[in-house]
Amino acid sequence: MTQLDRHYTDPRLVDLYDIENPHGPDFDFFLELANELKAQRIFDLGCGTGLLTRQLAVAGREVTGVDPSPAMLAYAHRQPGAARVQWIEGDSSVLGTPAADLVLMTSNVAQVFLDDAEWATTLRHIYTALRPHGRLAFESRSPDDRGWERWNPKTTFARLETPHGPVETWLEVVGAENGRVHFVGHNLFKNTGEDLVVTSTLRFRSHKEISSSLSRAGFTVVQVYGDWQRGPLTHTSQVMIFVACRK
Ligand SMILES: C[S@@+](CC[C@H](N)C(=O)[O-])C[C@H]1O[C@@H](n2cnc3c(N)ncnc32)[C@H](O)[C@@H]1O
């Protein structure tokens, strides 16, 4: 399995995650999709702190959050409503064959799979976990938008109020090649002066690469949206949102 970023393993950085990534139109999209599909059994793969997972877990639903990071899951466990969700530590190999209605990978989880073989294995596991005609939904940043070219210390700078006091965060891109973008994240804890530095790589797969990988895993691509309001995918879209169906 790809090594986990320090963002997901260091409890001090995990404490910043929901502050930096609050509920947005992406979560509304996935919540509406789950309702429309009348999904009763849902897996949230790479659920992280579980902010969306807990909202999905309404009465009559069986919701499971899966994540390989013990620190992210420990945070998720402490949140209100956590008991409504079943939490499993692991990657897609723990999904099994539960006849799920819907599997989600939200907030660009798809981009953590740097290696094509690992991505293909993940899609196969998801396929096996779904019931016939069950859905997989996820997003990935569009490489056509070259968003990483806009990531620099100035544009990404933020000052957060956190349980650890004020924290200043920013990103620096250190390289981009073969659909992989390498960057360094800084997290300067002002009370101690400590800068927790995170080195990360994200995979930017094209629309064609993702569609082909879904087909190879046995999925039919039902829809690809270019924004969270279900607009079409265009060459200027920042995000590609895939909804795929198990045959
Ligand atoms: C950007 S966070 C997304 C968290 C959550 N889905 C959200 O919407 O906020 C990426 C998550 O993917 C998890 N992750 C990393 N490698 C993974 C893998 N091989 N399988 C599943 N999840 C993985 C990380 O631990 C982290 O919690």
pLDDT value of residue 2 = 67
For ligand 1, the distance from its centroid to the CA atom of residue 49, given in whole angstroms, is 9
pLDDT digits (tens, 9 = 90+) for 177-205: 999 999 999 999 999 999 999 999 999 99
Nearest CA to ligand 1 atom 23: 46
pLDDT digits (tens, 9 = 90+) for 12-61: 999 999 999 999 999 999 999 999 999 999 999 999 999 999 999 999 99
Could you say which of 3.40.50.300, 3.30.70.370, 3.40.50.150, 3.40.190.10 is the CATH number of the domain covering 6-142+205-246? 3.40.50.150
pLDDT digits (tens, 9 = 90+) for 81-131: 999 999 999 999 999 999 999 999 999 999 999 999 999 999 999 999 999
User: Would you say the pTM of this structure is higher than 0.95?
Assistant: yes
* pLDDT confidence tier of residue 5, bands split at 50, 70 and 90: very high
Q: What is the crossing angle of helices 70-77 and 11-20, to 10°?
A: 60
pLDDT value of residue 1 = 63
The token duo for 174 is 């250190």
Nearest CA to ligand 1 atom 27: 48
CB atoms within 10 A of CB 127: 20
Nearest CA to ligand 1 atom 18: 91
DSSP character string of the chain:
-PPPPHHHH-HHHHHHHHHHS-S-HHHHHHHHHHHHTT--EEEEET-TT-HHHHHH--TT-EEEEEES-HHHHHHHHTSTTGGGEEEEES-GGG--S--EEEEEE-SSGGGG--SHHHHHHHHHHHHHHEEEEEEEEEEEE-GGGTGGGG-SHHHH-EEEEETTEEEEEEEEEEEEETTEEEEEEEEEETTTTEEEEEEEEEE---HHHHHHHHHHTTEEEEEEESSTT-PBP-TT-SEEEEEEEE-
For ligand 1, the distance from its centroid to the CA atom of residue 162, given in whole angstroms, is 21
The domain locations on the chain are 6-142+205-246, 145-202
- Best of 67, 91, 113 to mutate for ligand 1, by most ligand atoms within 8 A of CB? 67
pLDDT value of residue 3 = 84
Binding pocket residue ranges, ligand 1, CB within 6 Å: 1-2, 4, 8, 21, 45-48, 51-52, 67-69, 72, 91-92, 106-109, 112
Q: Which amino acid is at 138?
A: F
pLDDT value of residue 238 = 98
